[in-house]
Amino acid sequence: MFNSLSDRLQDTFDKLRGKGRLTEDDINVAMREIRMALLEADVNFRVVKNFVARCKEKCLESDVLDSLTPAQNVVRIVLDELTVLLGSTDSKLTLAQNRTPNVIMLVGLQGSGKTTAAAKLAYLLKSQGHSPLLAACDTHRPAAADQLATLGSEIGVSVYRGDGRDAVAVATGSIREAVDHMNDIVIVDTAGRLQIDEEMMEEAVAIKRAVRPDQILMVVDAMTGQDIVNVVTEFANRVDFDGVIMSKLDGDARGGGALSVREVTGKPIKFVSMGEKPDSLEVFHPDRMAKRILGMGDVVGIIEQAQKVADEQQMEDAERMLREGFTMDDLLKQMQQIRKMGGLQKIMGMIPGMERAMSQMPAGMDDSQMTRIEAIIHSMTKEERARPKIINGQRRKRIAVGSGRSVQEVNQLIKQWDEMNKMMGKMRGMAQQMGGKGGKKSRRAMQQMMRNMGGGMGGGRFPF
Amino acid sequence: MRKMGFFDSLKQGLKRSREAINEIFYMGGEVDESFWEDLEDTLVMGDMGAGVAMRVTDDLRERAARENLTRAEQLRDALIHRLAAEFPAASRDPFTDLPSCVLFVGINGAGKTTTVGKLAGRAKDSGVPCVIGGADTFRAAAIEQLEVWGQRAGIDVITRERGADPASVCYDVVEEAEKRGAQLVLIDTAGRLHTSSDLMRELAKVVNVTRKRSSIPVSVVLVIDATTGQNGLNQAKEFNDALELDGLIVTKLDGTAKGGIALAISSQLGLPIYRIGVGEKIDDLQTFDALDFCRALVGEGM
């Protein structure tokens, strides 16, 4: 139960490791893990179902990054999808320009942290140069107004308590008070209520009608479980809020509720509340939240690492080719990469002008020929692959016999390699020339160019 | 009547899955794949956690095959009893086996203060000499809130000013309670997240001082909100490690939340549930009945 998701995902990774392409079964396995992760993060059950279905579709149709293992690719897709779903970092409160005072109303369940959030919001607005007024409209919980008054005095914001009996009267009274005291924003703290409590929901609607708030924010406890969907749906239907403050995120709750809220109501998360100090109201970061929900900050690290390593590998390869020339191993690697991406025909279809170029090639390249070339290269010794120049007539004969091809075909391959190596030599010359003028910087530019060349050809370094 | 209300509200949230289950039932009650999926869904939606839900469903599936249970009705019954068996029984009820001193702990907003208020009201009604201790000296107006409850119940609240050391408040409370011959001592503590190690240490000190000073048995009770999701397990585990809990109280079961996390905590940590809160009124704090609770969690047979 307490095993971290990272461990479990790692297990799945291990099972999938070494596979070049994702099959639907692989994706199903990964999706099951993701489903568990989301459920453990308290994302609502139905939301999980929809989300996983969508992710699966994305995985099936999306391009895969070669530098990542299949499982990592899945995680990347899920993470991206989750981040997009969680919405923007827009934490602005939309307030009417021509209205004084503006009114912000807070609603939520009991114990979700409304009163604390009200004080934090007041503190934030005050630091932005506003002059907020707190309205203590929680007339139900004993001493709720006292709590707000205490918090208000700590942050230097005045609190309107009214008669402390009729919440609607306190709310309307607070507007008058704000007008009298030149406060430009009123924050209405209301009593906690259950979404099924008809009377209390009525009261919230009555307060809303009385003060016509510019923004209604719903305070949601990050630890809330599956029921969050019922709660927010009912609040959205009855009082209709504009955004959400997620409270108690300083704990270790994964806060899957954020996703449920977004998915069910479409309302943005505007702030996250991270502690008991008045300045702990923070901007919502969907990317961080996504990682938190998946419980996998470190896994993302792994992905980034993998990406970096792959890039470095590519850089190294490019550099080596510039320095030492193009080897048969490089040729082999490239061909294998083409295979992995779905074969020559598919790639040719994707690259404009490629088809014509290929038709000019002797004998015309197709996939079966690639297999033959592979066989030939496999029949070479290590030394021969690294330095094809040493392949003399005798060696050619041996290679031909070993691979079951004719000596002619071996000759053709070596000729092809020679052409490519000459091209590489030209580039090396260019690089040195440029290096003479621009030094290191232009050499890097050269490497970049080579990398891009590879990238433009569908991720592989396709030599033809 | 009250009980009906409790079920009614819980039934509400289960409507969809219950309808699905009933459908199978009416169509001859044959159990098929969708029944199992539905069952698992119901359990997950009750916050029991995907792991527990799968385990329980698999267990049941096996048992169904073994005992040849083919009707949805039989299975539901078997499931309810299977779940109910997960709850350890309370060897002692700290609110009726007197004298007793109870410390209420939990995260912010779980409903500790309200629970103390309700229990004090109950004690007063049944004529048990009781005092309330206010050791939440941190949250603004926590003491005032407790005092209002004390006034309502007609019971004295022993506390100190905001910011005072909570452990020393507890010392005072226990001493004063002994002087007055109180049979039931209810001490409210400040809510804190289980991840804040300083505050957890402070609480451990509070509990130690109380346990040492008190001549009557001390129970430490974790108050947990029924709407809490899977994080509840982390909470309970941390609190249990730091304080050696005696039991649980589940609050706010009057919404549509089913409090399945209570089952997860109770069975995993072996903690009995002393009370459940099913409404705002003093009487809405009820003794826990495992079978009733599981019926609500799964959907009763109808």
Nearest Cα of chain A lies from the Cα of B114 at a distance, in angstroms, of 9
**pLDDT value at position A257?**
86
CA distance A177 to A33: 55
Lowest mean pLDDT across A75-84, A286-295, A363-372, B194-203: A363-372
Q: Is A455 annotated as a binding residue?
A: no
Question: Would the pLDDT of A193 be above 80?
Answer: yes
pLDDT band at A18 (very low <50, low <70, confident <90, very high): low
Give the E-state strand segments of A91-214 in sequence order. Answer: 102-108, 132-137, 159-160, 185-190
pLDDT band at B186 (very low <50, low <70, confident <90, very high): very high
Task: List pLDDT tens digits, range B46-94.
Answer: 888 888 888 888 888 888 888 887 777 788 888 888 888 888 988 889 9
Question: Would the pLDDT of B27 be above 60?
Answer: no
Task: List pLDDT tens digits, range B247-301.
Answer: 999 998 887 788 889 989 998 899 999 999 888 787 788 899 888 888 888 775 4
Chain A residues whose beta carbon lies within 8 Å of the beta carbon of residue B117: 142
**pLDDT value at position B281?**
80
Question: Would the pLDDT of B158 be above 60?
Answer: yes
Task: List pLDDT tens digits, range A344-353.
Answer: 555 554 444 4
CATH classification number, B100-245, choose in 3.40.50.2000, 3.50.50.60, 3.40.190.10, 3.40.50.300: 3.40.50.300
**pLDDT value at position B58?**
87
Q: Which residues contact A394 (CB under 8 A, 6 or more apart)?
A: none
Within the 66-95 window of chain B, which residues sit less than 8 Å (CB to CB) from chain A?
none
Our measurement of the distance from residue A198's CA atom to the centroid of its chain's CA atoms, rounded to an integer in Å, reads: 40
Question: Would the pLDDT of A36 be above 50?
Answer: yes
Question: Would the pLDDT of B20 be above 60?
Answer: no
- Whether the CB-CB separation of B190 and B135 falls below 8 Å is answered with yes
Question: Would the pLDDT of A453 be above 50?
Answer: no
pLDDT band at B205 (very low <50, low <70, confident <90, very high): very high
Task: List pLDDT tens digits, range A303-332.
Answer: 555 555 556 666 777 777 766 677 888 778
A79 vs B215 pLDDT, higher one: B215
| DSSP bridge partners of A254 | none
**pLDDT value at position A341?**
57
Q: Report the pLDDT averaged over residues A41-62.
A: 85
What residue spans define the domains of chain B? 100-245
Question: Would the pLDDT of A267 be above 80?
Answer: yes
Within the 240-279 window of chain B, which residues sit less than 8 Å (CB to CB) from chain A?
252, 254-258, 260-261, 264, 268
Q: Report the pLDDT averaged over residues A142-148.
A: 89
State the average pLDDT for chain B.
84
**pLDDT value at position B196?**
84
**pLDDT value at position A7?**
56
Q: Are A231 and B255 a contacting pair at CB < 8 A?
A: yes
- Whether the CB-CB separation of B205 and B163 falls below 8 Å is answered with no
Helix (H) or strand (E) holding A278: none
Q: Are B47 and A109 a contacting pair at CB < 8 A?
A: no
DSSP secondary structure letters along B134-150: EE--SSTTHHHHHHHHH
Lowest mean pLDDT across A48-62, A420-434, B201-215: A420-434
Question: Would the pLDDT of A63 be above 70?
Answer: no
Our measurement of the distance from residue A3's CA atom to the centroid of its chain's CA atoms, rounded to an integer in Å, reads: 23
A104 vs A296 pLDDT, higher one: A104
B196 interfaces chain A, CB cutoff of 8 Å? yes
SS3 at position B211: helix
Helix (H) or strand (E) holding B259: none
Report the share of chain B in percent with pLDDT over 70: 89
Short-list B109, B104, B247, B144, CA closest to A117: B109
Q: What's the alpha-carbon Rg for chain B, to the nearest Å? A: 21
Q: Which of B13, B110, B268 sits opposite A227 (nearest CB)?
A: B13
Task: List pLDDT tens digits, range A399-426.
Answer: 999 989 889 889 888 888 888 777 777 7
Question: Would the pLDDT of A82 be above 90?
Answer: no
Give the E-state strand segments of chain B in sequence order. Answer: 100-105, 130-135, 157-159, 184-189, 218-225, 247-251, 273-277, 285-287
Question: Would the pLDDT of A256 be above 80?
Answer: yes
Helix B2-26, helix B72-84: angle, nearest 10: 140
pTM over the 0.80 mark: no
The number of residues making up chain B comes to 302
Lowest mean pLDDT across A150-154, B67-71, B194-198: B67-71
State which amino acid sits at residue A281: L
CA distance A319 to A296: 35
Q: Which of B148, B233, B256 sits opposite A196 (nearest CB)?
A: B256
B157 vs A93 pLDDT, higher one: B157
